[in-house]
Amino acid sequence: MTLDWKKAFAECGLPWDGHDSFSAPVNINSLVELKNFLDIVHTKFCLLKPFCENPDYPIVENRELLPSFESDTWEYKNVPGFSLVALDRQINYFSEIFQFDILHSLLDDAVSAEGKSCPLENTVLSRNVQALQNRLPKKMHDSFKQRFMKYDVSVLDHYPQILPYLLEMDRAQVMALDSFGSYYLSGVYASFPSDLDPEIKRFGMRTGKFSVGDNEKYERNRLFVYQYLMELYGFPIVSERRTSSALFARRLHKMGERFLIRVLGQSDRTLTTLYTPPRRKHYPAIEKIALVKVHKDQAEAVRRLEEGGFFVDEERRVVILRVTYSQHKFNPDNVRQERALSVSRQEIIHPITGRVLSDLNIIKDTTNMFLRLNDIVRGEYMGRIAYKRNEIVENTDTDEKRLKFLFAWLSKHQRRIIGYSDEFYSNVVKVLDGYLLSPDNYDVFGNLNELYQEVWAKYSFIQQARKIRILEDLMRRESRGTRIGYGEMLTESVALLHGLKFEIVSYFEDLVNSVIALVEAILNDRYLRRNYIECREDELTPYGADIRKNYGKLVSLLDEFKAIRKSRHEFRQNR
C-alpha cells in the first residue's frame, strides 16, 4: 500500500491544513528546532510528494548512503533540488561573506485579518513578494503575485506554500533570526563562495600529501585529497551545488558560526544537512535523509517495519531513512587513511507519526554486501554503477562488466573488508579467489588483461592492508581483541612482516610507509627498550633473551622494507 502524502506527518505536532500551510503560527527560536521543522517539511514536500506522484521515482539504494560515496550515475531532472543556509543570528547584510537577495521580517499580527496594514508594512510585504518574483521563471510571476501579494512570505508559517516556488530557483534559500529571536526566510537566490583550489591545497599540505613545488606528488595525490576533503562534508566529487555547500560549511565552521546548511541534489535524491553540533567539534555534524529500499533478504527488519507501519510503500519496501555520520581526522599512518566518514546512527522515520526506529541496520548489513558480491561474480546482479566516475555500467551479463562491477565494489567497500571480522573476510576471499583464479576464466581474463590487473591490484591492496591493520593492533599489544605481552607482540609482528615482504611485488607506497611507521613505533617503545634492549645481556631472563632476538629480527625486516621503498623511489626518479 502506497502512502497518501497529504496525510503524512499529520500527527507530528505540526499540523497541516488543506492548503499545505500551518494552522498555527510557527515560532522557532533554536537551530535544533529549525532542523526538526525542516526535516518534516522537506521530507514531506521534497521526498514523499514526488515519490507518491511519480511511479518511476528513483528510490535510493542503501549502498548509496554508505561511505565512501559513489559518483552520481544519473541526473534526474524531474525531482526537486535546492540548497539552504540558516544562520543562528541576525543578518548583517553588508558584512555577509556571500551574495543573496534579502527579505525582511514582520510580526505575524502586524497585518490585520482584513489584510489592511500601515504603509511601511505594505511596502515591506510587497518588496518581499517582488524579490521572490524576480527570481522565478517568467511564466510563474503572475500566479505567485496573485497568491502571495497580501502575505508576509518571510514567516515560516507560509514556508510550505512557498517551497514549490523556491524549488524553481537555481540558487540557495537563506534563513536567520529576526530582532525578536525567531527564524524567518531572510533571503533567496544566494550564491555560496567556493574556494576549491586553495582549500584542496591547504588540506593537502596539512595532511602531508602535497609539498610546495612538488608537481609529481601533487598530481599523484590530488584526487585522493579532493575526494577525502569532500567526503568529510558528506559528498563525493560532485556538482557545483553540493561542492559549494560543503566548502561554505567548512568556511562557516572555521569562522565559529552556528549554522545549518541543507542540500538536496537531483542526482542523489538525498537531503544532506551539515550543521553546528551541540558540542564544538573539528567538523560540522552530517545527516542524510532519503527514501531507501530495504533489501528483501533482511527478513527480520522487514517484519518489524511491516508490523510498525514504517513502510512508505510496503510492496516496494520503501522507508524514510535518516543516517548520521562521524568524521575522522586524517592519519597518514592508518592503513584505512581514506576513511573520512563512518556511519554512527541509522533512524527509520514513521511516515505518519514521525516516530523513530533506531536499532535496525539497514545500510551496513554484511549479509547484503556478501550476497551482492556473489551476484556480481555469477553475473546475476542487476543494477548500475559508475566505473571510475565516468562510465555507467548496467548489469553483469558479461565478464567485462563483472570485472568493472568488482572494481567498483572493492573500491566502495575497501575499508570495510580491511576492518571487518575474519569470518567475513574469509568468505570474501573464497568468492574472489573462486572467480579471479578459476582456470575456466583464464582465456577470458587474458583478453581483458588490463581490466583484470586493475581488479587484482585493488584486491592485492586490500590483502596487504588487512595484514597491516593487524600490525596496528599488535603495536597496541592487542591480538584478536585480547591484550598480549611484548614477547607475543614481537613474535607475531616478525611472522606477519616476513610473509608480507613477499607480497610487496604488488607495491603500494602508502602501505609500505605505514609498515615502516608502525614498526618504528614498536621498536621505539620506551618500556621495551629500557627493560630488554638497553640492559646488559647477562641481566636477561630466557623470556627477555627471546624478546631481544625477535627485536633484532624486526630491525632487519624494517631495513628490508626501507630498502624496498628506496629502490622504488630511485626507479621512479630514473624513469
Output phi, psi for 172, to 5 deg: -85, 155
What angle do the packed helices 449-475 and 399-412 form, to 10 degrees? 20
The pLDDT tens digits for 53-77 are 888 899 988 888 888 887 776 778 8
Grid cell 565494489 is found at: 409
Q: Count CB-CB contacts under 10 A for residue 397.
A: 12
Residue 514 has pLDDT above 60, yes or no: yes
pLDDT level of residue 390 (50, 70, 90 thresholds): confident
Arithmetic mean of pLDDT, 545-554 = 93
More confident residue, 572 or 422: 422
**CA 345 – CA 323 distance, rounded (Å):** 6
> Which is higher by pLDDT, 70 or 233?
233
Q: Grid coordinates representing 519? A: 614498526
Q: Residues with Cβ < 8 Å from 207, sequence gap 6 or more? A: 225, 228, 330, 332
Q: Give the pLDDT band of residue 274 (cuts 50, 70, 90).
A: very high
Residue 334 confidence (pLDDT): 62
Over 70: is that where the pLDDT of 457 sits? Answer: yes
| Residue 332 binned pLDDT confidence (cut-offs 50, 70, 90) | low
pLDDT of 546 over the 90 cut: yes
Sign of CA dihedral 363, 368, 372, 375: negative
Q: Taking the CB of residue 186, how many other CB atoms lie within 10 A of it?
A: 24
The pLDDT value given to residue 2: 47
Contact indicator for 35, 273 with CB cutoff of 8 Å: yes
pLDDT digits over 470-505, tens only? 998 899 898 887 899 999 999 999 999 998 888 877
Find out whether 187 and 100 touch, Cβ atoms under 8 Å: yes
Percent of the chain at pLDDT exceeding 90: 44
pLDDT at 15 over 50: no
- Residue 1 has a pLDDT of 44
Q: Using one digit for the tens of pLDDT, what is the confidence trace for 84-107?
A: 999 999 999 999 999 999 999 875
β-partners of residue 177 are 183
Residues 205, 198: Cα–Cα separation, whole Å: 10
Interval 14-27 mean pLDDT: 52
The three cell numbers of residue 340 are 573520512
Per DSSP (E only), the strands in 39-156 are: 82-87, 99-102
Report helix, strand or coil for 515. Answer: helix
Maximum distance among all alpha carbons in the chain? Answer: 101
d(CA 138, CA 234) in angstroms, rounded, equals 35
User: Which tens digit of pLDDT belongs to each residue from 175-186?
Assistant: 999 999 999 999
The length of the chain in residues reads: 575
What is the rounded CA–CA span in Å between residue 261 and residue 172?
10
Lowest-confidence segment of 78-82, 112-116, 152-156, 472-476 by average pLDDT: 112-116
Q: pLDDT by residue (tens digit) across 209-230?
A: 898 988 988 998 898 889 888 9
Of the candidates 318, 340, 323, 322, the residue with the CA atom closest to the CA atom of residue 331 = 340
- Segment 341-370 shows an average pLDDT of 85
For the entire predicted model, the pTM comes to: 0.78
Q: Return the bridge partners of 440, or none.
A: none
Residues 6+ apart with CB under 8 A from 136: 144, 165, 168, 169
**Which range, of 170-179, 312-321, 406-415, 555-564, averages the lowest pLDDT?**
406-415
Mean pLDDT computed over 237-262: 91
User: Which pLDDT tens digit goes with each residue over 99-134?
Assistant: 999 999 875 344 433 444 455 667 888 899 999 999
